[in-house]
Structure 1
């Protein structure tokens, strides 16, 4: 039986923390997809290298972007997420810790809400204005890049999108986040 938000909230209230695990199948599919797009990017570059022409420049540039984004950024981030799948998100009354090492204190969070980013739903933590720069600097580089991109999309400073491939859907995860914030006295 799948875990529910109610069970996670009960665990949070009983033990003081709840660990929300990632769904490994979703991460594995994302890794395979990133590898496929990186390989396509490499093939587009190789085609231009083997027969350089001005007509092939747009394809080579697209290949470079695909190889850089999916191969150099996407695959390492996804593999790291896979390695930390058993502890993808840890919620306590003090804050959240993400598997990649990112920490967010509830005292620094202005609000938490559901957002759609690039067609996918996420529970998103929005820092207080005065803590946004510090929060951004505290994130590991891949998470910092994600927060900068998400910030541009949402027009918010340094939002932290919680992973989407978790055992709880984003709306259920948001319920648990709100309960953790309430336990810490950061949500009335």
Structure 2
């Protein structure tokens, strides 16, 4: 009789432990899902509109561009200040999952000769994705602009980027001259600005 009672009690205890573990797993899965949704909604939204803006959070046209030091996809060090007084820099913030980013990349490739002629260096800043995923995308797309890795999205946070794609044009003195959110269906504004910068 005692053995039967112990068996029943042990089975009940194991059942309770199993139920507790299942609840813990469900709670953990829900927490991970919640964090993922928060990240997608708050930080890496695709644009619902496209246009030039005067500010991204605290970053404004006419302000000093935040410096950064990171590495490119080939492991070489990259810093914004390293090009100061030598070249203007166009920062393109993007991700592999973002269709408007692909459209923008095609536009920038069409403008490659003009960008080079006006002395503008293009940094395509990937928004925190694993390097192997970025490499696979870049190789498949034939994207030969310099790809910069934004590990932990620290650069994106400094620049107030919450929508992809976003572009920030920084002149040779390190001043923000132009901010654009979304794809670039019309390139006239950027082309005019590139030529003005080349003459400064």
Q: TM-score range by the shorter chain?
A: 0.3 to 0.5
Query: TM-score scaled to structure 2, two decimals?
Result: 0.31
With a CA cutoff of 8 Å and minimum separation of 6, indicate the structure with the bigger relative contact order: 2
Query: TM-score scaled to structure 1, two decimals?
Result: 0.33
Larger Rg: 2
Structure having the larger proportion of residues in helix: 1
